[in-house]
Amino acid sequence: LVASWDEVKELPIVFNPNEDFQYNQTNYVLIGKLINKLSGVSFQEFIQEKQLKPILALRTIEAGFGHYQSVIPHSARGYTYFVNGSLTHAYEEFPLEFRTAAGMSTTASELAHWYIALQNGMLLKNPESLSTLWTPAILKDGKTRGFGGPLNGYAIGTPIMVKPNEPNIIATIGGGRSAALTYPEKHITIIVLTNLQGAFPERFINDMLKWID
C-alpha cells in the first residue's frame, strides 16, 4: 500500500476544487493519515476512544473492524444474492488504510445511541460543528452534486438528500446493505441494517417515515 499511496500522490487533479463531484476513497485514506498524525493513535483507536466508549457501544467495540477475521457471538455474516436464486457468503477484508470508509460492524440500537449523542453535542468538541458536518457542498455553479437520484448532495463524508423548500435529509449509506436517514428538524433517525449485499435499503428507507411521523 505504500507504493500505491506514492502513486496516488503523483496522479493529476481530475478537476479543480468545487467544480464537480466524484466519489472516491482516497480522501478517507487521507483523513485516516491526518487523524493518526494529529492524535498519535490509529483511526480505529481514535474512534473507539472518542466515539464509541462515551456511548458505551460495547458490542460495536467488541466487533470492531475485524468482522470477518474474528468470531463475534450473535453476529450476522454477510451474504450476496444472485439472480439464479442462490445465496453465497460475502467475504470482504478491508485493509487498515481503508477502514476509515468501511469494515466496522455495529447494532441498530448502538448506532441509534450514537446518532442521539452526536445530535446532543456529546461527541463533538464544538456542537455547532454538526451543521458543518451535515451541510452539502455548494459547487461553483451554485448546485450540489451526489451519487444521483435522491442522493443529490454530499457533505463531509455523508450523502445528503436536497429538496427545494424542504429541510435536507442526512443519508448515511454503506455497502449496498445498510442505511440510516436523519431528519434533523424532526429529531428522527431511521436505521436499517441488513446482512444482504445488494439489498440497497436506501431505495425504500425514506418511505418508512410515514409509519413514524
Distance CA 203, CA 210 (A): 15
Query: What is the number of other CB atoms lying within 10 angstroms of the CB of residue 80?
Result: 15
**pLDDT above 70 covers what percent of the chain?**
98
pLDDT of residue 101: 85
pLDDT of residue 24: 87
- Which residues is 173 bridged to in the sheet? 179
Which residues have CB under 8 Å from 137's CB, separation 6+? 18, 21, 144, 145, 153, 154, 155
pLDDT of residue 31: 92
Domain definitions of the chain by residue range:
2-211
pLDDT of residue 41: 95
pLDDT of residue 171: 95
Low-confidence ranges of the chain (pLDDT < 50): none
- CATH fold for the domain made of 2-211: Beta-lactamase (3.40.710)
pLDDT of residue 169: 96
